[in-house]
Amino acid sequence: MSNRISISSGSPFEDVFGYCRAVKTGNLLEISGTVALIDGDKVKEDDLYAQTYNIIERIALVLEEAGSSINDVVRTRIFTTDISKNLDIAKAHAHFFGAVKPTTGIYEISALIAPQYKVEIEFTAWVKE
């Protein structure tokens, strides 16, 4: 098996739940479900575009840290508590991935880890050798 590298975000939830932000094995990079950092100003609870944008913007840094990039993402999985806002989510997703076009799915679920979070995204990417 290839060397396994775990990438931490520093979140206290990583120890509570027993996970890390990302795991790299060989050329494969899997990134855990990520929610937005809601600040009440730039990213608000009811703004699904801003939440989606914030998530992808932050994950771009994780990708870089792992030797990958937005251009290397091959799959996203989007979970939302309000599917009626799918076009807001899509607009932010397309801002980053319009030319990349990874496979994706968008799923409405009843709740995320806390009520202020309306979007959570998982990512799969390749890392160049």
User: Among all chains, which residue has been given the structure tokens 């206290």?
Assistant: 12
Asked whether 108 and 83 are in contact (CB, 8 A), the reply is yes
Instruction: Report yes or no on 55 lying in a domain.
Output: yes
Number of domains in the chain: 1
| CATH number of residue 47's parent domain | 3.30.1330.40
Instruction: Report yes or no on 85 lying in a domain.
Output: yes
pLDDT for 7-43, tens place per residue?
998 888 899 999 999 999 999 999 999 999 999 999 9
Instruction: Report yes or no on 9 lying in a domain.
Output: no
- Confidence at residue 18, expressed as pLDDT on a 0 to 100 scale: 93
Could you tell me the residue range of the domain that residue 47 belongs to? 35-123
Q: What is the Cα–Cα distance from 15 to 9, expressed in whole angstroms?
A: 11
Residues 6+ apart with CB under 8 A from 6: 20, 22, 23
Instruction: Report yes or no on 1 lying in a domain.
Output: no
Instruction: Report yes or no on 67 lying in a domain.
Output: yes
Instruction: Report yes or no on 2 lying in a domain.
Output: no
Would you give per-residue pLDDT tens digits along the chain (129 residues)? 558 999 998 888 899 999 999 999 999 999 999 999 999 999 999 999 999 999 999 999 999 999 999 999 999 999 999 999 999 999 999 999 999 999 999 999 999 999 999 999 999 999 987
Instruction: Report yes or no on 105 lying in a domain.
Output: yes
Instruction: Report yes or no on 6 lying in a domain.
Output: no
